[in-house]
Structure 1
């Protein structure tokens, strides 16, 4: 199958509308106005030199989607690059929807600063898309979004330039199992646990769940699979209930997103 779609990407790697971040720059739009990202375009920006290594990330993202019942061929559409005259065999690629690209970012290697930047970008873009579909955007909101995009561009550029691993940043806060509770996590970000977990629900990292022990906000399965959060079954007053914990990688992501609110 050969991909034949118009694209918003121009020769210098930036989007044709002039928007700024590296991920905006490789965003494509087909003839029907549907946005998508090419996995081949994402590969170098997320810090992967070899396609084979990045393909394993895509396969983990597909399994995450399948486990949560959100997989579709349209979101992870396997394509082939057009073969140029005299060239070698066609290269396999994936046409990724925004949600699919988000899952790919979440399943990337946690020690890559470029992966953390991708996680922050797609998490915020997914949340903004959900808000945008619920009501029309005013001119003031459009202006604010433009300013926020410029600020994100500057922040992401700094993160990619620094390229310093965050390993060890949270070690003194983690228990021996490498986890930290949600109350303690809220303390790190100078807020209360209810505010923090409700915000995590709003940006689609957590979901609401009701048990006999009461309503609880818990991390979604793809984010557990990506080693951002863990859920343990605990017992109190004769009732078993799930309790959420955060990993060092999860703290990195929360830190990135919390500062961009």
Structure 2
């Protein structure tokens, strides 16, 4: 086992836990011997019991205890004494398994919980930075191409999106009469044509008249919807098109005209 190298972090901090934080090639860590008095323990053996309880809790959480609280000997005068090298998580778990009656333990729990949360948030929020000039240029070029592609797509979609805006109701649906008016044909002729295409089906209304309605397949595809409405006396079904449904009819009509 390698001895712990004494010497605290020279960086001052607002918290005493910052003052005893150390760093090496593995990153930041805390010495259990340094942490002991800050948690209000006067005897090492009492504090070591908290460390061992924390190691059990770490193991039960599915992690390797020795990675977060590793036993290390260190020089103390002419002898060696036991110490632990603690990660932030290891120190936090020791605080969590400390004597809850000690106000120092509560302070440590708060400190390590807050610092752990800050580290997790920073890791999630931090964007990946280019490693060199060439990589930065490639990333920039990719972003430019992406923006141009989106701009071109929006130019194509914008006229289609705005064409039906004036005819949409609060649910984003368009009446069949409005679509027929744009195609300059009677709505009955349009729905009969949609029946010929197999998009609508013929059915009789409750009053015995023909009432063409979109087939279920095209409703499930999000092109049409059937709403039950009421005129104050009776309820009846009304066919509507979504934006995509209106575009579908419009495209089919253009294909029909070209043929």
TM-score band, normalised by shorter chain: 0.3 to 0.5
- Highest RCO, 1 vs 2 (Cα 8 Å, sep ≥ 6): 1
TM-score norm. by structure 1 comes to: 0.46
Q: Point out the structure with max Rg over C-alpha.
A: 2
TM-score norm. by structure 2 comes to: 0.46
Which has more helix, going by share of residues? Answer: 2
